[in-house]
Amino acid sequence: MSNPTGTTRKRIVRRVVLCLLLGAILNMVVAQAIGWFVRTPYKEPTYLFVGDSKWAAEVRDYRRFGRREFQWRAMEEWAVAIWRNIRLKKEFPEGTPLDAVSVIPSWCSVHAPGWRAQWVETAEKAGADGNGWFLPEDVAIGWPFLSFSLSTEARSASVDPRLDPPRVTRGGMIQESGRGSGYRRSVLAWNPILPGVALGSTFWASVLLTMVLATGATRRVLRRRNGRCPHCGYDVQSHYSAPCPECGTISRKVPAKSNT
């Protein structure tokens, strides 16, 4: 006769491990589905101005369900000077006119090695040729935690967007279609944001595990009510005070069925 306690523990461990694996897969599937299909409207962007003595950027922080986007724009020296003057007088009379880079999430490209040197080079080129230039655009997707991200490389911006060079993405892809109210922007990303992946996978694993445990508990209750072993389903109506002859589980005593 097998040990029911040991068997039950092994079964629970297997279920937990399986739920963790399925939770990680489900977390990625949900993130990609949100990035590609969800069309909820964006909230009004938050504007940040980050930089130091050598470079500065206007950052638009867009948020919507399951997605966050940072759109960067290089600021030329004259624009930085004007912004410093305005912000010092109106908003920060005793503080710094530029936000610290630390306010930007760690998954953004601004924290990558060599990024600031690229920024300075791009800003100088923008001032030389008179065109607008955009630095990497960062996008993160996932729910309930942002779990995957992508970034785009620097590119020039002309008056007519159709003349712009193609966007080069790292860690994903962006597909844009339509204009005006019909504009659609679909995103797939696979650069993992480790804290988000861990938390998101755990969340979905807990959802799956709760469903599995609830299903098992319901099945055991129904088996007991029908006079069967809650573990294996064997008919134990004549074995109330003895272990189940099939698996050895001691069943809770239930009233015997009347023949009259």
pLDDT tens digits for 195-245? 999 999 999 999 998 998 888 888 888 888 888 888 788 777 766 556 777
Residue 27 lies in a domain: no
Contact 229, 251 (CB under 8 A): yes
Residue 64 above 60 pLDDT?
A: yes
Q: Which two tokens stand for residue 142?
A: 């996932």
Residue 36 lies in a domain: no
Residue 204 lies in a domain: no
Alpha-carbon gap, residue 193 to 242, rounded angstroms: 54
3-state SS class at 5: helix
Residue 214 lies in a domain: no
Residue 72 above 60 pLDDT?
A: yes
75 with 166, same domain?
yes
pTM of the model: 0.76
The confidence score (pLDDT) of residue 260 equals 45
62 with 130, same domain?
yes
176 with 242, same domain?
no
The confidence score (pLDDT) of residue 50 equals 79
178 with 85, same domain?
yes
163 with 57, same domain?
yes
233 with 126, same domain?
no
The confidence score (pLDDT) of residue 237 equals 74
Amino acid at 6: G
Q: What confidence tens digit (pLDDT) does each residue in 95-143 have?
A: 555 667 778 899 988 888 777 667 666 666 655 544 555 667 899 999 9
Contact 189, 171 (CB under 8 A): yes
Give the domain extent around 109: 42-197
Residue 177 lies in a domain: yes
User: Where is pLDDT greater, at 122 or 71?
Assistant: 71
50 with 159, same domain?
yes
The whole-number average pLDDT for the span 149-165 is 71
What residues does 61 pair with on adjacent strands? 46, 70
DSSP per-residue letters across 137-179: -EEEE-SSS--EEEEE--EEE-SSGGGSPPP-EESEEEEEE--
Residue 71 lies in a domain: yes
The confidence score (pLDDT) of residue 52 equals 66
Lowest mean pLDDT among 35-44, 52-61, 75-84, 104-113: 75-84
Alpha-carbon gap, residue 88 to 82, rounded angstroms: 10
161 with 244, same domain?
no
Residue 34 lies in a domain: no
Q: What confidence tens digit (pLDDT) does each residue in 77-105 have?
A: 666 677 666 665 555 555 555 667 778 89
152 with 233, same domain?
no
Count of domains forming the chain:
2
242 with 180, same domain?
no
The whole-number average pLDDT for the span 16-44 is 90
User: Where is pLDDT greater, at 111 or 254?
Assistant: 111
Nearest to 135 by CA among 108, 162, 161, 160: 108
- Domain-ending residue, one of 178, 197, 216: 197
69 with 178, same domain?
yes
Phi (first) and psi of residue 249, to 5 degrees = -75, 135
Residue 11 lies in a domain: no
186 with 232, same domain?
no
- Domain-ending residue, one of 151, 181, 197: 197
